[in-house]
């Protein structure tokens, strides 16, 4: 199409460009956004109307991971398509045993920010998921390697059940404080950020002392540390869909690991209270489903509903799942000249996050990718 033919898309209604900022119209040409009406408009323009959000973000997702570990490329593609068709157009892959760099070359798949492989210890994480280090002293070099191979993020497993303790087995930190601090410094030296899996109370002081950038799950964050986390700008991803499975995990562990089972049950019972406390403390809340493994892809709307059930306002959850999450990962939203990655809804999801389950159009790189034509 020639330049004189005008834009290919015109979106009318409520274009949400950020916190309390909204414009009436948006145009797309050559995959780019314009917030000003073009001087010439073509006759083959597609019209869309509704409430428009910058593409949704799943900051804790595992493309390439299945219940038993790595999946094949075709399955990973299906996972990414499922995420895309739910409105998720930007994914931070928080650890995957599959090399998914090929996703970067696919214009029809969500933008992917890779964190490389989970870094763990033998028998101290899920089998087949992570890179298991025999010696804790290997962590800094492993972090350096993953930082160089990833997209600016590294994922460390901070705690897991220690089965060697028998019936007394419970969540325990995996790394000595000095090794963890050296590892985080190694990532920062490579211009990468570090996020850490953390269920327990015990591991949190070590993470803060080491200077981590993000905490995944955060079920054990003590209220006395929440202000410090907020002041340091450490973001937390509550992953309430995952925490919702803790009661089932506890039942499976009751006989062999009763101490661990009791802890998981406590964390499950107070999961909503914990998420609300994190939000009320001023901590930046990110939205992540923990899809992959035992949780299906495409469930960001369900995770948002869980956060609202915890007592976080709908509008705050939508912001975290859209423009705030994009900014956190270093991506633009609906600004002049940006890539046209957005989702159109029939009502305002800031009033009811349930609206996120039924987008009327999903646009990625300027192309309508869902609902599918024909």
| Mean pLDDT on 38-62 | 88
Name the domain count of the chain. Answer: 2
Which domain, by its residues, includes 292? 56-327
pLDDT at 1 over 80: no
Token pair of 280 as six digits: 């009320």
pLDDT at 180 over 80: yes
| More reliable by pLDDT, 78 or 40 | 78
pTM of the model: 0.95
Q: Where are the alpha helices (DSSP H) in 310-342?
A: 314-321, 323-328
pLDDT at 134 over 50: yes
pLDDT at 248 over 90: yes
- Kindly state whether residue 3 falls inside one of the protein's structural domains: no
- Kindly state whether residue 357 falls inside one of the protein's structural domains: yes
Q: What percent of the chain shows pLDDT beyond 70?
A: 96
| Mean pLDDT on 52-72 | 97
Same domain, 202 and 216: yes
Residue 197's pLDDT is: 98
pLDDT at 3 over 50: no
Strand pairing category for 69-70 and 65-66 = antiparallel
| More reliable by pLDDT, 154 or 44 | 154
Sheet containing 88-93: order of strands: 56-61, 88-93, 111-114
CATH number for position 220: 3.20.20.140
Distances (CA, A) of 292 to 49, 63, 200, 359: 33, 7, 22, 23
Res. 41 pLDDT band, cuts 50 70 90: low
Q: Positive or negative CA dihedral for 195, 201, 204, 206? A: negative
Residue 19's pLDDT is: 84
pLDDT at 295 over 60: yes
Same domain, 73 and 87: yes
| Mean pLDDT on 301-326 | 98
Q: What is the DSSP string of 63-94?
A: TTEETTEE--HHHHHHHHHHHHHTTEEEEEE-
Task: Read off the pLDDT of residues 89-120 as tens digits, 9 standing for 90 and up.
Answer: 999 999 999 999 999 999 999 999 999 999 99
CATH number for position 361: 2.30.40.10
Same domain, 33 and 103: no
Coil vs helix vs strand at 179 = helix
Among 160, 121, 115, which residue's Cα sits nearest to residue 138? Answer: 121
Residue 21's pLDDT is: 87
Length of the chain: 374
Q: Where are the alpha helices (DSSP H) in 270-322?
A: 271-280, 300-309, 314-321
Same domain, 186 and 312: yes
Same domain, 271 and 193: yes
Same domain, 46 and 167: no
pLDDT at 244 over 70: yes
Same domain, 15 and 65: no
Tokens 């414009």 sit on residue: 23
| More reliable by pLDDT, 288 or 19 | 288
- Kindly state whether residue 170 falls inside one of the protein's structural domains: yes
pLDDT at 301 over 90: yes
Same domain, 182 and 60: yes
Task: Read off the pLDDT of residues 196-228 as tens digits, 9 standing for 90 and up.
Answer: 999 999 999 999 999 999 999 999 999 999 999
What angle separates helix 246-253 from helix 258-269, to the nearest 10 degrees?
160
pLDDT at 264 over 60: yes
Residue 374's pLDDT is: 36
Tokens 């895309």 sit on residue: 84
Same domain, 127 and 34: no
- Kindly state whether residue 2 falls inside one of the protein's structural domains: no
């Amino acid at each position: 199409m020639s330049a004189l033919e005008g834009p290919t898309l015109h979106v009318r209604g409520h274009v949400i460009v950020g916190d309390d900022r909204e414009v009436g119209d948006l145009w797309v040409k050559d995959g780019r956004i314009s917030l000003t009406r073009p001087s010439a408009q073509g006759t083959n323009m597609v019209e869309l109307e509704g409430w428009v959000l910058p593409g949704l973000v799943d900051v804790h997702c595992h493309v390439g991971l299945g219940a038993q570990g790595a999946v094949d490329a075709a399955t990973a593609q299906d996972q990414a398509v499922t995420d895309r068709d739910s409105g998720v157009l930007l994914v931070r892959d928080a650890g995957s045993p599959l090399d998914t760099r090929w996703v970067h070359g696919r214009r029809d798949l969500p933008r992917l920010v890779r964190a490389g492989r989970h870094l763990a210890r033998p028998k101290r994480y899920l089998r087949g998921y992570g890179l298991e280090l025999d010696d804790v002293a290997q962590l800094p070099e492993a972090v350096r390697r993953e930082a160089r191979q990833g997209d600016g993020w590294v994922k460390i497993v901070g705690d897991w059940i220690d089965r060697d303790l028998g019936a007394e087995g419970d969540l325990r930190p995996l790394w000595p404080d000095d090794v963890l601090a050296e590892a985080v410094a190694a990532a920062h030296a490579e211009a990468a950020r570090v996020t850490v899996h953390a269920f327990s109370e015990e591991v949190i002081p070590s993470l803060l002392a080491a200077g981590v950038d993000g905490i995944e799950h955060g079920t054990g964050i003590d209220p006395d540390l929440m202000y410090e986390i907020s002041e340091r700008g450490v973001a937390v991803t509550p992953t309430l869909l995952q925490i919702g499975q803790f009661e089932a995990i506890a039942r499976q562990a009751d006989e062999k690991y009763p101490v661990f089972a009791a802890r998981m049950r406590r964390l499950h019972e107070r999961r909503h209270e914990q998420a609300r406390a994190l939000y009320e403390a001023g901590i930046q809340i990110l939205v992540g489903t923990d899809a992959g493994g035992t949780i299906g892809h495409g469930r960001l709307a369900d995770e948002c509903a869980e956060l609202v059930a915890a007592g976080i306002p709908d509008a705050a959850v939508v912001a975290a799942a859209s423009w705030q999450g994009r900014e956190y990962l270093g991506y633009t939203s609906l600004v002049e000249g940006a890539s046209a990655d957005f989702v159109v809804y029939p009502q305002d999801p800031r009033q009811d996050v349930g609206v996120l389950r039924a987008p009327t159009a999903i646009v990625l790189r300027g192309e309508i990718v869902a609902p599918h034509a024909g």
